[in-house]
Structure 1
Amino acid sequence: MSDERRAWQMVLEHIEADLLSGALRPGDHLPSERALSIELGVGRSSVREAIRVLEVLGLIRTATGSGPTSGAIIVATPSGGMSALMRLQVAATGFAVSDIVKTRLVLETSVAADLAATEPRPDLTLATDLLDAMEPGEADATQLTINEFLALDTQFHLTLAEILGNQVIAATMAGLRSSVESYARVGASHLDSWADASARLMHEHRQIIAAIEAGDADRARTVVHAHISGYYAESHLTGQQLDQ
């Protein structure tokens, strides 16, 4: 194994360890390439290679430019191989948005209802932390880009499945992440007002959490169904085919 290969793998293992330990969480930005290069004693090319791998795995999203919204943002924590295999299948062929939406409706309404019916009530801190990251306070001048918001939005829905603990559902949703984000981004360009739409999405996210915390399974199922189908209808994506 070459020194260069060992170097980028060391960077990858370092970042994954921080993700697994909670030192880095969804919504956080990775340290800069320069900072990681100095900290780990490797070249910046090795850091870039590790970041590319993390992006392919769906753990981070990157944005170019300068300012608080640039760089690499954490959108997920490492999961099993099943979701990685499914991502490869998704990448190999496009899916109709309607099929993705129908799959989400089946899986995510069940997840929300099951969480609401669980006793004792599950700890939703990881999910609410994501909502807090998506909803900066009035004193915070940093606003998320549309892509950052939607990446965290997708992770919020996946996190609910992970909290439920059904590994098959969670892996399936993780495998569909890129497709879900893709249609959400396309849909955002069709909206009359992203500001109004994102505010409504946040309100609906909070309604989902409230229904689960109240133990109201029927309400949780209804709110999730309206949340997913409403965005699909509003963004006029009927018949859209996604090319991965």
Structure 2
Amino acid sequence: MLDRIESDLLGGRLRPGDRLPPERELSTRLGVGRSSVREALRVLEVMGLIRTGTGSGPSSGAIVIATPTGGMAALLRLQVAARGFPIADVVATRLVLEEAVVRRLAQRADAETSPLHAVLDAMDDDTLTPDEFLALDAQFHLGLAEESGNTVVAATMAGLRTAIEDYVREGATGIADWTAVVRRLRAEHRGILAAIEAGEAEGAASLVHDHIAGYYADARVPRTAPQGGS
């Protein structure tokens, strides 16, 4: 069934918003048991390709959706949890992608940065909890990726960050002077955005590298591969 859904998506026979046939019809059409159909639907939902609803009516059944980050995030989280992907490698990959993103944005005259300024303005609220601040931080970085126009990079970056978000949150609780770190992060975000708007591609790349690496150091997220194996 998974192969059939993939083929239909690639062939344009299925598009976001389309509803899949009921389980019984899929079972008959594909010549497989309903248990196999249910399992395939669960996999597709975890991958972020469909959303399922129970009961009857317009919201019931399985609907094709366009959220590629769901599957990417789930895959990366599982790989990190199983130590298939070392955290240090995830961090290194995120650095490479974010540097490429800000370079691209700085080279574009039509980059829309006003939504990013709105996120940074929201981050200036001194009453934010660490979790709330980090959620806005994630929104800012994902916004950079989405504005770059490359959906694969945006989905990958969202997945990379989600894969280690538990480490990031736990690390925040161990930072002695959270207020000072927040103050620094706010200034760094503004500096990155200013460099992008000024068209300073390499300057923006350097700033975003130091910004991410600096916070990971504060939060003690591993940034070097373990010696002698994972």
Deviations for 1:35-88, whole angstroms, at most 9, x for unmatched residues?
A: xxxxxxxxxxxxxxxxxxxxxx8xxxxxxxxxxxxxxxxxxxxx9332111122
Structure 1 counterpart of 2:15: none
Equivalent residue, structure 2, for 1:86: 72
Please show how residues 1-244 of structure 1 align to structure 2 within 5 Å.
Answer: 80-93=66-79, 94=81, 95-118=85-108, 120-136=109-125, 143-238=127-222
TM-aligned CA distance change 1:161 to 1:127, over 3 Å: same
- Structure 1: where are the runs of 5+ without partners? 1-56, 58-78, 137-141
CA contact 1:116–1:213 (8 Å) conserved in 2: yes
Identity value in percent: 45
> TM-score, normalization: structure 1?
0.60
User: Per the alignment, do residues 81 and 217 of structure 1 end up closer, same or farther by CA in structure 2, a change over 3 Å counting?
Assistant: same
Q: 1:180 to 1:153 in 2, by over 3 A?
A: farther
Paired with 2:213 and 2:66, the residues of 1 have a C-alpha distance of 29
- In structure 2, the residue matched to 1:26 is none
Structure 1 moving runs of 4+ over 4 Å: none
State the TM-score, normalized to the length of structure 2: 0.63
Deviates more, 1:154-163 or 1:92-101: 92-101
Which residue identity is paired with 1:84?
Answer: G
Question: By how many angstroms is 1:187 displaced?
Answer: 1.7
The verdict on how the C-alpha distance between 1:124 and 1:99 changes in structure 2, with shifts beyond 3 A counting, is: same
Q: Is the 8 A contact 2:196 2:204 kept in 1?
A: yes
**Residues 127 and 156, structure 1, Cα contact 8 Å, conserved in 2:** yes
Change in 2 beyond 3 A, CA 1:97/1:91 = closer
Aligned residues: 158
* Corresponding residue number in structure 2 for 1:51: none
Matched AA of 1:211: A
In the TM superposition, what is the alpha-carbon distance from 1:121 to its structure 2 partner?
Answer: 3.9
1:98-131 CA distances to partner (integer Å, 9 max, x unpaired)? 122101111001101110011x241101111111
